[in-house]
Structure 1
Amino acid sequence: MKITSPFILMVLLAFGMIACQNKNSQKEAPSPTAKVIADVNIIDIRNGHITKGHVVVDSGKIQRILPVSEDEAEVIQEAELINGKGKYLVPGIAEMHAHLPSVIWNDPQMEEVLFLYLSNGITTIRGMLGHHLHLELKEKVANDKILSPRIYTSSPSLNGNTVTSTEQATEMVTSYQKDGFDFLKLHPGLRLHVFDQIVKTANEVNIPFAGHVSTLVGIRHALESGYASIDHVDGFLEGLVPESAGVNPTENGFFGYNFTEKADTTLIPDLVKTTKTHEVWVVPTQSLFSRWFSPTPAKQLANDPEMKYMAPEVIENWINSKNNLTETDAYNAEQWEDFMAIRKMLIRGLQENGHGLLLGSDAPQVFNVPGFSIQHEMQAMVEAGLSPLETLQMGTVNPAKYFGQEGNFGEIATGASADLILLDANPLEDISNMQRPRGVMVRGHWISRDQIDQKLKTIADKYRELNE
């Protein structure tokens, strides 16, 4: 038995692990790799209730959750104990709009990006620009060969340039389904008849599709076609423009920004209702708009602490991209405020009366560092009017429902995957308490704060040397 501190000795005594002569009270001992997060405040992510307990993890799963009471004392031998006293435990987060580099699974760049996600408690990612190299990565992760969030991956992009005919649509959709991609990624530029063929073939071969809404398709037809998810709230603002306005849909600007003053917000309930009728999830990626598309100066964002984990040339490209987008005559801060107000109304409406929201930040994207950007996204959801609990549900139980994996991950429950985040303070009181987790567990593998800091320092040092 491993006794490494006075705290652990105290917990062992409380559990009855040392004085265990009463064999009738004993249960089968866990394996030597078992862990116990002891005396921790456990957040029920479905209702926000908090109970104090001991979470027993073995073989990658939550084996038992023990109340803190003498009557429920348990015998657990050869377990590594993690001090949870005074801390809070939440399920691991799903980043539902992630991007991975198009490199082989054991490339150092891939390892680095995956760790950045893990460092902020992201234990599931939905890759939104797939590559055939990601199929091997997904397999390696599923077989626990590498330390990584679990992976769901899209196909390569289906857009107006890559698929230009119905014949191509049929061929590509069928091929991607056979290859083993989890879903199709749709990008802008699809013509209506090509889009309809993609949908027809996808339904025939049973592969979901998600992503952007092409302007020639339109939000209503997109919703009625049964997207698995629409990301960025794409097409919704355009859908608020009355037909009487006579706009050219291709002149919508950045996600409808050019139509801001023409949008009729009284049409929001109808669009929201349609998402529910056709069971379409929405991924807001609001941090994309509060950072890349905001009036905040690029140089200011480039000095954010997490930027030290990105290559200098990436930061330079981000500065240029933001300046090219926002330093034009067509852009002004007042219209951006109105634009964001409409997006917040849409997000609140979709939360209250739609099919559901999923947490995603579009990382790495302009000034969205993998892992760290999910913190900005959660803050943006609270600023849009969601509660911290609703925000956390977007990244836990909602993705589990989306993937048909309720009970397997996304909550702290017996039998669920041991994907956990240990926090110093209650995130239901302040969502910023999700920052700097005390430790992260992914499928039973524990990463302590010291290990996180050490690995992050290694990444930062590498890029600092490139700057010197």
Structure 2
Amino acid sequence: MSKYVHPSTTGGRVRLRDVTVVDPLDGSRTPGQDVIVENGRITSVTATATATGAPAADAHVVEGRGRFVVPGFMDMHLHALNTPEDVDGTYALMLATGVVGFRQMSGNRALLKSRREGTLPRPTGAPALKAVTGDLLTPLNASTAEGAVRAVREQHRDGADFIKAGATTGAVFMAALEEANRLGIPLGGHLPGDLDPREAARGGVRSIEHLGPGVTVFAAASSREAEVRAANTVRKLPPIPQVRFPGADRLVTKLIKGVVVNPATRTSATEARAYELADGSYDQRKAEELAALFVEHTTWQCPTLIRVHTQQFGDSPEHTADPRRRYMAPKELRAWDRSARKFSELPGATRRALHGHWAAQLRMTRTFADAGVPMVAGSDACGAAGVVPGFGLHDEFDHLAEAGLDPLTILRMTTTEPARFLGEEGAFGRIAPGMPADLVLLDRDPLEDHTALHGIAGVMRDGSWWSRADLDAILERVAAEPGAR
């Protein structure tokens, strides 16, 4: 059950009548279609019934004339289960914004055990957990190459779907990557500041998050690469105990949380200089060569532009006065506000360097998209200052469009590309018989303008239907008792 999402009154056998079906895979639109759903699956997609072929009497009918139906959205970088005992508010916002599934980017042995035993909370309308990692690779479990290898083996044994590198050195990262490849488990995440992204790509890294983060990827697209790398530094975490003991995972989470709310608040003058140097020496030819290498090695990117924007403009009213803050738990907002104050105290030159890097990130995202680098959409919500769950993915759509990506590419990044990334092509992300009944009904054509993705007329999750009025009621209940994290 959920205190925010009431059970749908429209379930069982449902007919979405007279809709235009949008297929993200080939970019086609097929108007005048009836989508029939039963037991959480699409059973048929056929031309709208005429007078001689009326809808079955036992089917709930959702009238969709003039509207467009697309697969439900996937957020491929999320931390909803950082607080598995308190996900109701976050999941409610995800349903209200059409987010039907996600990749959990932080985990631990207890979370993997709960997933394995089927004891993770599933409030009404909960999204599908598509993949989850184990403990983030940090100096606690990966201070040496040997420690990293051991951590990879443990997470593989515990059933993690992938390994996420968070704070490592280049040598430790590559040792973990080699072992992950040997075991057949994907490794992705943050590239260390002392690692060439080309080496990581050739080594088989599965995904790079946040365009690096930092300046690491951008150094490879600089005409003064050696100087940028020399100026770049490996970000240090707060002191982390090197010895395992009961409760160590919780302690590390607490130590790191203050940093991950907005890592940009710890930007040093040296790092700011590296940003300026990289951005001022950008070489489009080198950027295209890097993109071609990522294509060759199928090195996925999850840009999370909304995340980097909230970091680099950490005290902007766009984020600090966002009206959607009303959905967030008060404790979460207090952490956000502390972070904003800390960001405002950075030297002016540092803040200018962070602001200036935004244009470079948009340009790099466009370069990758034009080259055909595989990419998925993610928000990094649940812990990141200024990123509201569910809505953050829609902000990501807007920033991808700002970078110059076309509407079809954006739609694919949240539907068919997640399926391909997870090795589940044909299992979700399209509207066809046998597919999960996870659908979003839109008022406008999403292939004409990406902003149509915001105009949600209703959401179907696992065969249950919530209308626009239902979704608005969910949002009001969350606002009345803010609980998203």
TM range (shorter): 0.7 to 0.9
Please list every run of 5 or more consecutive structure 2 residues that lacks an aligned counterpart in the other structure: 1-10, 235-269
- Runs (4 or more) in structure 1 with deviation over 6 Å come to 141-145
| Aligned-CA RMSD value | 2.7
Cα displacement (A) at 1:255: 12
Instruction: Give yes or no for the alignment of 1:250 onto 2:233.
Output: yes
Instruction: Identify the match of residue 218 of structure 2 among 237, 249, 252.
Output: 237
Give the whole-Å Cα distance in 2 for the aligned partners of 1:378 and 1:180: 32
Change (3 A) 1:128 1:461: same
Give the whole-Å Cα distance in 2 for the aligned partners of 1:181 and 1:382: 33
Which SS does the other structure have where 1:157 is aligned?
coil
Instruction: Give yes or no for the alignment of 1:452 onto 2:471.
Output: yes
Give the whole-Å Cα distance in 2 for the aligned partners of 1:373 and 1:206: 32
Instruction: Give yes or no for the alignment of 1:160 onto 2:139.
Output: yes
Q: Which residue of 1 aligns with 2:457?
A: 438
Instruction: Give yes or no for the alignment of 1:95 onto 2:114.
Output: no
Q: Which residue of 1 aligns with 2:240?
A: none
Change (3 A) 1:254 1:98: farther
Letter of the 1:321 counterpart: S
Letter of the 2:481 counterpart: K
Q: Which residue of 1 aligns with 2:242?
A: none
TM-score by length of 1: 0.84
Report if the CA contact (8 A) 1:160-1:191 is conserved. Answer: no
Equivalenced residue count is: 429
Change (3 A) 1:86 1:140: farther
Instruction: Give yes or no for the alignment of 1:416 onto 2:428.
Output: no
Which SS does the other structure have where 2:482 is aligned?
helix
Cα displacement (A) at 1:411: 1.1
Change (3 A) 1:174 1:71: farther
Deviates more, 1:312-321 or 1:355-364: 312-321
Instruction: Identify the match of residue 301 of structure 1 among 298, 319, 328.
Output: 319
Give the whole-Å Cα distance in 1 for the aligned partners of 2:374 and 2:158: 29
Report if the CA contact (8 A) 2:79-2:381 is conserved. Answer: yes
Q: Which residue of 2 aligns with 1:204?
A: 182
1:196-240 alpha-carbon deviations (Å, 9 max, x no partner)? 221122112211111110112221211112121101111311222
Q: Which residue of 1 aligns with 2:198?
A: 220
Report if the CA contact (8 A) 1:265-1:342 is conserved. Answer: no
Instruction: Give yes or no for the alignment of 1:271 onto 2:253.
Output: no
Instruction: Give yes or no for the alignment of 1:195 onto 2:173.
Output: yes
Which SS does the other structure have where 1:66 is aligned?
strand
Cα displacement (A) at 1:182: 0.8
Report if the CA contact (8 A) 2:205-2:299 is conserved. Answer: yes
Report if the CA contact (8 A) 2:181-2:204 is conserved. Answer: no
Report if the CA contact (8 A) 1:41-1:50 is conserved. Answer: yes
Identity of aligned residues (%): 28
Give the whole-Å Cα distance in 2 for the aligned partners of 1:446 and 1:70: 24
Please list every run of 5 or more consecutive structure 1 residues that lacks an aligned counterpart in the other structure: 1-31
Report if the CA contact (8 A) 2:81-2:104 is conserved. Answer: no
Cα displacement (A) at 1:388: 1.2
- 1:75-90 map, 5 Å: 76-90=56-70
Which SS does the other structure have where 1:446 is aligned?
strand
Cα displacement (A) at 1:147: 3.3
Report if the CA contact (8 A) 1:245-1:262 is conserved. Answer: no
TM-score by length of 2: 0.81
Report if the CA contact (8 A) 1:138-1:150 is conserved. Answer: no
Instruction: Identify the match of residue 57 of structure 1 among 25, 37, 46.
Output: 37
Report if the CA contact (8 A) 1:102-1:131 is conserved. Answer: no
Cα displacement (A) at 1:308: 0.5
Instruction: Give yes or no for the alignment of 1:462 onto 2:484.
Output: no
Letter of the 2:362 counterpart: K
Cα displacement (A) at 1:436: 5.0
Change (3 A) 1:141 1:95: farther
Cα displacement (A) at 1:150: 1.3
Q: Which residue of 1 aligns with 2:104?
A: 127
Cα displacement (A) at 1:145: 8.1
Change (3 A) 1:212 1:177: same
Report if the CA contact (8 A) 2:89-2:482 is conserved. Answer: no
Cα displacement (A) at 1:35: 0.7
1:77-131 alpha-carbon deviations (Å, 9 max, x no partner)? 4111112122211111110111124344xx3x21221222221111110111123
Change (3 A) 1:86 1:110: same
Higher-Rg member (1/2): 1
Cα displacement (A) at 1:352: 1.7
Report if the CA contact (8 A) 1:407-1:415 is conserved. Answer: no
Cα displacement (A) at 1:262: 3.9
Q: Which residue of 2 aligns with 1:24?
A: none
Change (3 A) 1:124 1:456: same
Cα displacement (A) at 1:172: 1.2
1:285-333 alpha-carbon deviations (Å, 9 max, x no partner)? 11123333127x4444232221101022322321332342354225467
Change (3 A) 1:256 1:66: farther
Which SS does the other structure have where 1:237 is aligned?
helix
- 1:317-328 map, 5 Å: 317-325=335-343, 327-328=345-346
Change (3 A) 1:412 1:142: farther
